[in-house]
Chain A
Amino acid sequence: MAYPYVSDKEARVVSQGFGDPKQRRIDTYVERGGYGALKKAFGLSPDAVVDVVKASGLRGRGGAGFPTGVKWSFMPKQPTKPHYLLCNADESEPGTFKDRELMRWNPHQLIEGCLIGAYAIRAKHVYIYCRGEFFETNQVLARALEDAYAKGYVGKNILGSGNDIDVTVHQGAGAYICGEETGLMSSLEGRRGLPRVKPPFPAAYGAFGMPTTINNVETLCAVPHIVANGGDWYRQWGSEKSPGTKLFCVSGHVNKPGNYELPLGFPLASLIEDVCGGMRDGNSLKAVIPGGSSVPILNAEEAMSCKLDYEGCVTAGSMLGCASVIVMDHTTDIVKAVRRMVDFYAHESCGQCTPCREGSSWTAQIMRRIEDGDGTEADLDTLMQITQQMVGTTICVLSDSVAPPVQSSIKKFRGEYLARMKAARSTEVPVAVPAGVA
């Protein structure tokens, strides 16, 4: 046993060194082969590095699952302006806690991934936009960066290769929306963290108006391993469309919640039973959210047959998202849980788009009223309609994220909603008549 919990089912690539404080130190990292991939990358052309990543089939771990090599290939091949690589370390999706662990246990792995990514897209500056609340993580990163600069892994003429790449850690100030790629750019530029309309896409007009690529922490952490070992090596795990390993952040009513790195395609049932030691107190499973709060809820039956990769989650009726698995047992109050998620989106909406600004808080108000026992069945139709009205109608997809939990829970747990309605309650709850009133 080590790092809170580990499992022999894991295939640890990016999570090597979790729980080992020595791994943070640059000397240990280098001893264990660290920065070797960087040297190897510098020996290749930038386009060849892109090709290796393309061949690996690595998909973005920030939630959207867009193929990383393809994204990199959108960047201009002949830079006429400065290029930027942004590392999205704002990790704020409810249920997600993998990037924090990657940074605090193995900061150099991320720095190396950033350097290789920057080299591949011909950027000379990388910004790691780190969630402000990650106080310790920020300190670890800052320390690691200092060491990397001192040892010549970052900065001017890295390792005598003639390549100059700077890395800056930028601390966010606590807003989920600053994790959305263009919101992050606005925030990084010193503006309000407001997402921007696309097009223009970041590869043409991103941070500071320059060609920009943005990647999640976990995505960039996988890059040194892929460059060191090759695309085929990475494909030994997972499927054709979902190759490689993935960190699963398991939270909720299991005996051993935590981060587990598993091959993509791992069965959700086995994740709960074998990896996480089963449900707490032997309780029965009610629902699972496989990919963070923005994806549809699976009921127990759907969850049991779900394969945890991009295609498998869709087949089961949900999405892999960022693989934040929230497990709920039979004691869970679904209405309250969903209301809590909607409150989060209402609180975090940046407020630009009308459907999101007004729709999220309206949804939250209705959910609260239902939770409090003052709802009617008609409210469920209203919820279905207004959340649908928030899908595909806004600048970013935060708005779209309200529909999955609300709609899936109404469809799959309608009975729980109905049980709370005024009509269902009125027979049980006596109306208090003050004394003296007829």
Chain B
Amino acid sequence: MSTTPPTSAPTAAPSAPAPATVTLTIDGQTVTVPKGTTILEAAKTIGTKVPHYCYHPGLSSPAMCRLCLVEVEGAPKPQPGCVTTVADNQVVRTVSDKALGNRQGVLEFYLVNHPLDCPICDMSGECDLQNYVHAEGREHGRGVEPKRVFGRDDFGGDVLFYGDRCVMCTRCVRFMSEVEKDERLTVVERGNRSVIDTFFDEGLDGTHWSGNIVDICPVGALVSKAFLHKARAWDLEHTPSVCASCSQGCNVELHTRDNVVQRVKPRENLDVNGWWMCDYGRADYEWMNEGDRIEAPLVRQADGSSKAVAWKEALGGLLARAKELQGRPVKAVVSARASNEDLGALAELVGALGGGEIVYRSPRSAEEIVLQGFPTLARRKDLAPNVKGAELLGMHRVGADDATGGLDKVRAHDGIVVVLGDALADQDERFGASAALYVYVGTQLPVAARAAHVVLPVTTHAEQEGTFTNHAGRVQRFWPALTAPGMARPAWLVLGALVGELSGEAVPRTAADAYAALAEAVPAFGGLAYPKLGARGALPMISGAAVSSGAKGA
């Protein structure tokens, strides 16, 4: 039974309105933070990371891992930094002998039953147990007892569970119950027999967000089946990007090795996706690694065959023909997976040729999948990243929800036909056959591009710099993670060069130039430039004020 009496009475009801900020000292540094901030978050503001496992800013705080205990002057016991709120004149020590000694002790406890199979653990290199123990753990272990063994379990979905590596932080359980709000995981048993488990055989199957538990698991207890033993963490390059699988625009990182995307991870952005992303977006990256790419410009010869030529030759011939046909109506088909810069350049090209109609086709799902505990995040119905961008540029949607049909008029058009990015999967080799000039701009060569006079190889968003506009109008940048194959170039560069020649305007040299040109030409993109967008994007300035997306982090 309890051997220590409660240390203090319940806090009295607040009286006078308290000041909005609190000033305290952390490791000798004076810190001023909003009232109600926890010590752990206050320490972050001066660059001090207090080690922790169970705390995650997107989840409730059970204060159970006991790693973030810090010394607070006047408190009889060390206090958990994750739930102890700051107070005026508080003196906190996170690296004192006491605090360090405590952490060393807790870390030793973690190792009592930990398998330390780092050499074959996918988390190795980015593991918070490895990192903390290396930084602050005991030099030599004292454990000689046999270790507890749980073994492995397939949790369903993309998730494998290595029970022996679990540090019992319950982040995974809390994510499923508090964020996805679909309780699929629980702690079974108690004491050091506690183990994470699923309820029924279905496990995580049928959930939409469970991939996130692999990210937030601080160790290698939850690992991705898709990534299992694929690459070592230290061999991966991380490139900030934007998920291209729906119009939410989750901020992500593409992790690559040897010019291959190995996995996709969410990147924190409280205005868009918090710390999360859906399982569809996470799994949708193999297409970026496809090898059957168009590697050189192709020009159709008199005998109907195609010849690979240099860029100069392809564009030279194309310009000559375009000038002859200038004034003939243009019909263009674009993909909503193309960047704002690419679409903007295409719109300019159509204008320079004398104008015409630009349509896009894009798949739509019947339902939105909302992340219940962070409802500003949903897998949107529009399954392409830049539908909003295309709409803002006056392009309009044709075809069915599976992105087929709607191209009858383009197919039979006898003027100029330009296709950007649409794979034309539902079309045959007669597509564009009656066009006076048919230009196909894409990454792969479909049968429906056989009639094209010129085929121009371009890059995917994973190979170029650019921006997408998400469903809420937020413009967000992405960066090249892969080297483009062969002679493929970004569409904005290729189309921009043609526009320059046709109109005499300056040719954009960088993606930033291309965006600047777009911002000047189209008010809906106005008021923004690359430096201002940063890594987390922004809403365009419309009549001086940023449009609020209403999105807010949990």
Contact = CB atoms under 8 A, between A and B. Distances in A.
A392 B98 CA distance: 12
A63 B2 contact: yes
B106 A395 contact: no
A272 B409 CA distance: 104
Given A192-B187, A351-B187, A354-B67, 11 more contacts: A62-B1, A64-B3, A74-B10, A192-B190, A204-B11, A346-B191, A351-B192, A353-B64, A354-B168, A358-B109, A393-B66
Contact of A401 (B3, B63, B106, B112): B3
Given A197-B63, A203-B10, A358-B112, A349 B191 contact: yes
Contacts of B152: none
B105 A319 contact: no
Name the 10 nearest CB pairs between A and B, nearest first: A63-B1, A351-B194, A358-B109, A64-B2, A389-B105, A352-B64, A201-B10, A349-B191, A365-B145, A392-B77
Nearest to A61: B1
Nearest to B82: A197
Central interface residue in A181, A192, A203, A355, by most chain B CB within 10 Å: A355
A32 interface: no
A209 interface: no
Q: Chain B: interface residue count, which band?
A: 35 or more
Interface string A217-257: 00000000000000000000000000000000000000000
Interface of B: 1-6, 9-11, 62-67, 69, 76-78, 80, 83, 102, 105-106, 108-110, 112-113, 142-143, 145-146, 148, 167-168, 187, 189-194
Contacts of A347: 191
B190 A65 contact: no
A199 B10 CA distance: 7
A188 interface: no
B191 A360 contact: yes
14 contacts: A64-B1, A64-B2, A177-B190, A197-B63, A197-B80, A348-B190, A351-B191, A351-B194, A355-B109, A369-B145, A382-B142, A386-B105, A393-B66, A393-B77
Interface string A53-74: 0000000001111100000001
A96 interface: yes
A66 B6 contact: yes
Nearest to A63: B1
B191 A319 contact: no
Contact of B168 (A96, A351, A400): A351
A386 B104 CA distance: 11
A382 B105 CA distance: 11
Given A62-B2, A362-B112, A74 B63 contact: no
A397 B4 contact: yes
Dominant secondary structure at the B interface? loop
B5 A357 contact: no
B1 A294 contact: yes
A354 B1 contact: no
B64 to A, nearest CB: 4
A201 B9 contact: yes
A326 to B, nearest CB: 14
Interface of A: 62-66, 74, 93, 96, 175, 177, 179-181, 192, 194, 197-204, 292, 294-295, 319, 321-322, 346-355, 357-362, 365-366, 369, 382, 386, 389, 392-395, 397, 400-401, 404
A162 B10 CA distance: 30
B192 A197 contact: no
A62 B1 CA distance: 6
Nearest to B194: A351
B19 to A, nearest CB: 21
Nearest to B80: A197
B78 A354 contact: no
Contact of A351 (B9, B142, B143, B190): B190
Contact of A295 (B3, B6, B190): B3
Nearest to B63: A197
B260 to A, nearest CB: 39
A204 B8 CA distance: 13
A133 to B, nearest CB: 17
B192 A352 contact: no
Contacts of B193: 351
A357 B114 CA distance: 13
Central interface residue in B65, B66, B143, by most chain A CB within 10 Å: B66
Contacts of B1: 62-64, 93, 96, 179, 292, 294, 321-322
Central interface residue in B109, B113, B168, by most chain A CB within 10 Å: B109
A393 B69 contact: yes
Contacts of A322: 1
A312 B518 CA distance: 84
Nearest to B83: A197
B62 A352 contact: yes
Contacts of B69: 393
B190 A353 contact: no
A393 B191 contact: no
B143 A362 contact: yes
B194 to A, nearest CB: 4
Given A292-B1, A352-B62, A361 B192 contact: yes
